[in-house]
Amino acid sequence: MGERNILDRLLEVQNGYIRLVDAQNEGVSKHSVLDYVRKNEMEKIAPGIYISPYAWEDRLYSIQLRNRKIIFSHETALYIHNLSDREPFSPVITVGRGYNAKHLKDNGIVVHTVRQEWLELGLTKAQTFTGNTVRIYDKERCICDIIKNKKRMDIQVFQKALTSYFSDSEKNIHNLMEYAGIMGVSDKVRQYTEVLL
């Protein structure tokens, strides 16, 4: 397969985005990528990441491409899971302790840090509203997170998330209680479960 065909395929698979590192992993030279970017009038949105002029820029996907280890959480995850009807003003993510998140905070992203052994608890993938796949916590982890951080949550977002989750036919109470045990919020989660189920 020729370099142009490889780049065309990457552009299609990644919904109008090309990462230099992905192209190089496929055997395409940096020179060829930059030539392709120029000829197709693509815009550089971050070092080594380019977007087609015909693609919708997806802020969450762009953040994910630049920061492979982050996980969308809290209000952002609730919104993607349809547990909130309020899109957060700033994206909300979680990283492991020790992760240098200064560049994220400087760009208006809300950053939560957790101990390393909790980082991948409930990790899944979901599609943003423009169809791009990002790393995100599942609904059960989101519920544990918002109960754990209730004092910092908007009360209306908190209540809507809980009532939406407990009326969801796809809820997984077993996973919810398992996560709650690991995160030390079993009693609080049990209280809400007894009231809302």
Render pLDDT for 81-119 as a digit per residue (tens, 0 to 9): 999 999 899 999 999 999 999 999 999 999 999 999 999
What ranges do the domains of the chain cover? 3-56, 60-194
* In the chain, beta strands by DSSP E: 17-19, 43-46, 49-51, 71-72, 92-96, 110-114, 123-127, 133-137
Q: Which of 11-15, 69-73, 124-128 has the lowest mean pLDDT?
A: 11-15
At residue 108, what is the residue type?
A: G
**pLDDT score recorded for residue 131:** 87
Render pLDDT for 44-68 as a digit per residue (tens, 0 to 9): 988 999 999 999 889 999 999 989 8
**pLDDT score recorded for residue 196:** 87
CA distance 181 to 176: 9
CA distance 116 to 184: 15
pLDDT, mean of residues 131-158: 95
Render pLDDT for 2-35 as a digit per residue (tens, 0 to 9): 899 999 999 998 889 999 999 999 999 999 999 9
At residue 92, what is the residue type?
A: V
**pLDDT score recorded for residue 162:** 96
**pLDDT score recorded for residue 128:** 93
